[in-house]
Structure 1
Amino acid sequence: MNTQKLTIVIPAYNEEEILVNSVHRLIDIEDQIAAKEAQGLQGIRADILIVDDGSKDRTWELVEQLHEDNPRVKGIRFSRNFGHQSALIAGLTEAVKTANMLVTIDADLQDDPEKISEMVDLYAAGDDIVYGVRNNRDSDSWFKRTTAQGYYRTLHLLGVELVPNHADFRLMSKRAVETLLKYHERNLFIRGVIPKLGFKTGEVDYKRTPRMAGESKYPLKKMIAFAWDGITSLTIAPIRLILILGAFACLLAVAMVIYAVVLKVLGMSIHGWSSLMVSLWFMGGVQLISLGVIGEYIGKLTTEVKDRPRYTIETILE
């Protein structure tokens, strides 16, 4: 029998309306897990680590109060907003020092926290990574549901391993987290990298619920940027698509030259100013898009070469 420690990592940004209730609920769930003692695990210890991602409201004040009331609640405060993925990495980096099991979940608890108990059971049975997977998207709008499914299909076609309908609600073992943290790139798309780790995995299904209060921290603009980051950080397929498109355009140009020569030999006048201008605009657009995609990769490469820190920690409540 092994004594294990469970740490729940919560990235939080402007979550003053729901943070206290969420933490109290998670503490109750941890107590239930410790009392149940999952198969093969005895004396489970548990705590919570909140990463304040540069909130502008009273989130950090609430974290300090929660820590004062209950030492099991710990906190990390960023000097400014560095983003959700950086908050996750910071939390995992700190928590893995003492924890054997690490669960990441958003502060709004739209992902069902009651499933953490099942995750711990699967960990006890030998799974190093347990994904929380949504079994339906009824709570999403038609637009969000359609675009999400299209995104997963696109990544699959590009050769990216991704668990469909899984966000950042998961349990990872200590060795799985330590392996993840060896990936040092600045633009780390966590949910795309974890399937590459190669450890034994399991899944628990859950139904996502509406937020109790507050607004989503992922509006359409951020979702699009996040999706694009996922594509460009996991695959060079867009560059290859540009190459294919360029080759096709060259073949089309050769065909048009042959067509023009044939018409000239036959003595037929060549009309088509409109088609010529359309072609020029089309090729100009393709070139600008191509330069943009290539520039995106060069920009990411520049960021990696600079090797700047992912985040700056202002305060740690241990």
Structure 2
Amino acid sequence: MGSEAPRLSVVVPVFNEEEVLPLFAERVRPVLDGLLVPYEVVAVDDGSRDSTPIVLDWLRRRWPELRVVRLRRNSGHQNALTAGLRRARGAYVVSIDVDLQDPPEAIGDMLRLAQDANLDVVHGVRADRSTDSPFKRWTAGLYYRLMRRVAGTAVPHNAGDFRLLSRTAVDALTELPEQLPVYRLLVPWLGLPSGEVTYTREERAAGRSKYPLAKMIRLALDSVVGFSAAPLRVATWLGVLGIALCGVLALAGGAAYLSGNVVPGWTSLLVAVLFLGALQLLCLGLLGEYVARIFTTLQGRPAYVVAFDSVSENESIEDVLCQL
């Protein structure tokens, strides 16, 4: 890789992406070589269970600027991104997914904008989501509207984890004591000078999406719980609403008793019990999310464990195979 410190680092979280990795390298390397600046590509293998480590080792031997960081177990996309940010050495750091839905050709535009306008953050903003399904477009729109209500209008609409950060921004992010970071909210929260580069989102180059509905829901929950106490207040207001409804039912029952129109039955009672039970469970669940975060923080366990870094360790392909 040479002794010259990289000007640009490109962080790429990778999990079970054996099919798309050669396509990623084939498309990204000419783009980065054409920028004419020293660079490194930090591929963070998030505990892949397929042939991803072998493909990464094969690519590293042919691409000197490729750096491989392997985590011992699957720690999640945001934690893999954290590992890459902490180990990136460039004055500017770009994060991008390996699936090529975010065009690497936009990296040059991001870098030029950051240098010309002296910006610390450049968000990649999707011009449209035509490649997504109608359901995903609807849920994504709902997510960003909710996040702007929770975290403020500084959150760019349709901006994911494709962004450029200055060294100042990276250092500020890695100093935060976040156990479950959501960078699409944390980065705007820093309040650093920022800009945007728009692009058209493409189809996945190969393989399957690693963000199914369950993970999307988990991300939304982490975003809300990790950035706002609003759900606790919602639980309080739901309790007030439940008390009010019970009061109305009590008054209605008293009026029926006084008028002599009491009809034996269990439907109304069953509905009231089920409603109050569901309300209590919802409030307990919301409270449990916050208690779980406190518990995780007090445990003090690292969010990820690095098995090796190709910059500091000269591992052979046999060593990689032994860790699978």
TM-score (norm 1): 0.91
Matched with 1:256 is 249
Point out the more displaced range, 154-163 or 274-283. Answer: 154-163
Show the 5 A alignment for 1:71-86. 71-86=64-79
1:236 is aligned to 2:238: no
Q: State the one-letter code of the partner of 2:197.
A: V
Please give the secondary structure, in 1, of the residue aligned with 2:34.
Answer: helix
Point out the more displaced range, 169-178 or 56-65. Answer: 56-65
Equivalent-residue separation in structure 2 for 1:159 and 1:129 (angstroms): 17
Q: State the 1:291 CA deviation.
A: 0.9
Matched with 1:131 is 123
Equivalent-residue separation in structure 2 for 1:279 and 1:159 (angstroms): 36
Q: State the one-letter code of the partner of 1:213.
A: A
Show the 5 A alignment for 1:31-50. 31-34=33-36, 44-50=37-43
Matched with 2:284 is 291
Of 110, 115, 118, the residue aligned with 2:106 is 115
Matched with 1:149 is 141
Point out the more displaced range, 231-240 or 253-262. Answer: 253-262
Q: State the one-letter code of the partner of 1:9.
A: V
Equivalent-residue separation in structure 2 for 1:262 and 1:165 (angstroms): 54
Q: State the 1:270 CA deviation.
A: 5.5
Q: State the 1:187 CA deviation.
A: 1.0
Equivalent-residue separation in structure 1 for 2:206 and 2:151 (angstroms): 38
Q: State the 1:267 CA deviation.
A: 4.1
Q: State the 1:255 CA deviation.
A: 2.7
Equivalent-residue separation in structure 1 for 2:188 and 2:55 (angstroms): 35
**Matched length:** 305
Matched with 2:12 is 10
Equivalent-residue separation in structure 2 for 1:4 and 1:68 (angstroms): 19
Q: State the one-letter code of the partner of 2:215.
A: K
In the alignment, is the contact (CA less than 8 A) between 2:242 and 2:279 conserved in 1? Answer: no
Equivalent-residue separation in structure 1 for 2:48 and 2:6 (angstroms): 32
Please give the secondary structure, in 1, of the residue aligned with 2:9.
Answer: strand
In the alignment, is the contact (CA less than 8 A) between 2:120 and 2:193 conserved in 1? Answer: yes
Q: Deviations over 1:117-146 (max 9, x none)?
A: 110111112111000010101111111111
Matched with 1:26 is 28
Matched with 2:294 is 301
Q: State the one-letter code of the partner of 2:295.
A: T
Show the 5 A alignment for 1:42-191. 44-95=37-88, 98-125=89-116, 126-160=118-152, 161-191=154-184
Please give the secondary structure, in 1, of the residue aligned with 2:18.
Answer: coil
Q: Deviations over 1:143-175 (max 9, x none)?
A: 111111112222233345532111100000001
Relative distance call for 1:270 and 1:159 in structure 2 (3 A) is farther
Q: State the 1:53 CA deviation.
A: 0.4
Show the 5 A alignment for 1:262-281. 262-269=255-262, 273-281=266-274
Q: State the one-letter code of the partner of 2:138.
A: T
Please give the secondary structure, in 2, of the residue aligned with 1:258.
Answer: helix
Matched with 2:317 is none
* RMSD, aligned CA: 1.7
What is the aligned-residue identity percentage? Answer: 38
Equivalent-residue separation in structure 2 for 1:82 and 1:65 (angstroms): 24
Equivalent-residue separation in structure 2 for 1:253 and 1:206 (angstroms): 53
In the alignment, is the contact (CA less than 8 A) between 2:46 and 2:74 conserved in 1? Answer: yes
Equivalent-residue separation in structure 1 for 2:265 and 2:229 (angstroms): 38
Q: State the one-letter code of the partner of 2:269.
A: L
Matched with 2:315 is none
* Structure 2 residues without counterparts, runs of 5 or longer: 312-324
Equivalent-residue separation in structure 2 for 1:159 and 1:89 (angstroms): 21
Q: State the one-letter code of the partner of 1:230.
A: S
Equivalent-residue separation in structure 2 for 1:123 and 1:238 (angstroms): 37
Q: State the 1:273 CA deviation.
A: 2.7
Equivalent-residue separation in structure 1 for 2:142 and 2:59 (angstroms): 41
Q: State the 1:80 CA deviation.
A: 1.1
